[in-house]
Amino acid sequence: MSIMKFFGDPISPVCRSVMLFLAANDIQHEFVLIDLKNRDTVNNEAFAAINPNQRIPVIDDNGFILTESSAILRYLAVKHKVADHWYPTALQDRARVDEALSFFPQNIRNGCFFHTCILPLRTGKPRDEVRCAELRASLKLALDFTENSLLKGKKFIGGDNISIADLQYLGEITQYLISHNEIYKGRPNMEQWMQDCESTLAPHFDKVFFKLRNVQASGHLKAEIDVSP
């Protein structure tokens, strides 16, 4: 039986979520870099044959190809029988994690960073300020919901212990650090949650986030994204 392959790039927020899970649970795998800077998801024909959707992350578990980060996280949690807090077996506890995972796309991961920082760089055209303003407003509402509902009275999104939902949110929220925006600031529950995630995931946090820190230091994606409460 061959070792599982994980196709990704640590600059991708959804890839970082899976990378953190793999590291925190000491799951053996072979990392295959699909370099987003070089647009490998489009230009790498071998990868396109693995995932015709041409997106990362992807795992190849002995011929079983699985895409989409939340599906991958659920699959790995169940297959490897990791500690229950990652993806609880109790029905209502699992439902809370699934609820947060369902809210994540289009709300926390709503495209604000992409439209503000990546699309103008990729196309060479000015950003659509109207669209970016709409996305900032939507993101602000999602962050307020996370602060006032998902994290109300809880250390982590699923309760007292970290779960795969936290990894998804962490991956996307930290993406804004590249543009020099700490979008969790001004929200006390989220600020404490960030600290708790970082300490709980040590030493893996720094290892997974090394590429993000390098891009952040370069400053070429710096932009003002005000989603303060």
Q: What CATH number does the domain containing 55 carry? A: 3.40.30.10
Q: Are residues 70 and 100 in the same domain?
A: no
Domain boundary (83, 99, 125) is at 83
Work out the pLDDT band at 195, boundaries 50, 70, 90: very high
pLDDT (tens digit per residue) in 70-105: 999 999 999 999 999 999 999 999 999 999 999 999
List, in order, residues 6 or more apart from 125 with CB less than 8 Å away: none
* Statement: residue 20 has pLDDT above 80: yes
- When pLDDT is cut at 50, 70 and 90, the band that residue 55 belongs to is very high
Whether residue 228 is contained in a domain is answered as no
Within this chain, do residues 55 and 24 fall inside the same structural domain, yes or no? yes
Task: Let me know: does 10 contact 214? Beta carbons within 8 Å.
Answer: no
pLDDT at 163 over 90: yes
Query: Tell me, what's the pLDDT at 23?
Result: 97
- Structure token digits, residue 199: 């300490």
User: What's the mean per-residue pLDDT of the chain?
Assistant: 95
* CB 185 within 8 Å of CB 90: no
Shared domain for 59 and 104, answered yes or no, is no
Q: Which two structure tokens, joined as six digits, stand for 155?
A: 């250390």
In this prediction, residues 20-47 reach a mean pLDDT of 90
- Tell me which residue has tokens 């995630």: 197
Interhelix angle 69-79/164-173, nearest 10 degrees? 150
Using an 8 Å Cβ cutoff, are 185 and 147 in contact? no
Given a cut of 90, whether residue 181 has pLDDT beyond it is yes
Only one residue has tokens 């790995």, namely: 76
Extract the runs of DSSP E, i.e. beta strands, from the chain: 5-8, 30-33, 58-61, 64-67
**Joined tokens for residue 48:** 């396109």
**pLDDT of the residue at 178:** 93
Paired with 186 in beta bridges are none
- Percent of the chain whose pLDDT exceeds 70: 100
**Straight-line distance from the first to the last Cα atom of the chain, in angstroms, rounded to the nearest whole number:** 51
What is the reported pTM? 0.95
Which tops the pLDDT comparison, 220 or 96? 96
**Sheet with 64-67, edge to edge strand ranges:** 30-33, 5-8, 58-61, 64-67
Binning the chain into helix, strand and coil, the percentages to the nearest 5 are: 55, 10, 35
pLDDT-derived band at 219, boundaries 50, 70, 90: confident
- Give the strand pairing for 5-8 and 30-33: parallel
Q: Are residues 91 and 176 in the same domain?
A: yes
pLDDT at position 42 over 80: no
Q: Among 67, 83, 99, where does a domain finish? A: 83
Q: Output the pLDDT for position 187.
A: 98
What integer pLDDT is reported at residue 18 of this predicted model? 98
Q: Are residues 64 and 101 in the same domain?
A: no
Distance, in Å, from the CA atom of 84 to the CA atom of 44, rounded to the nearest integer, reads 37
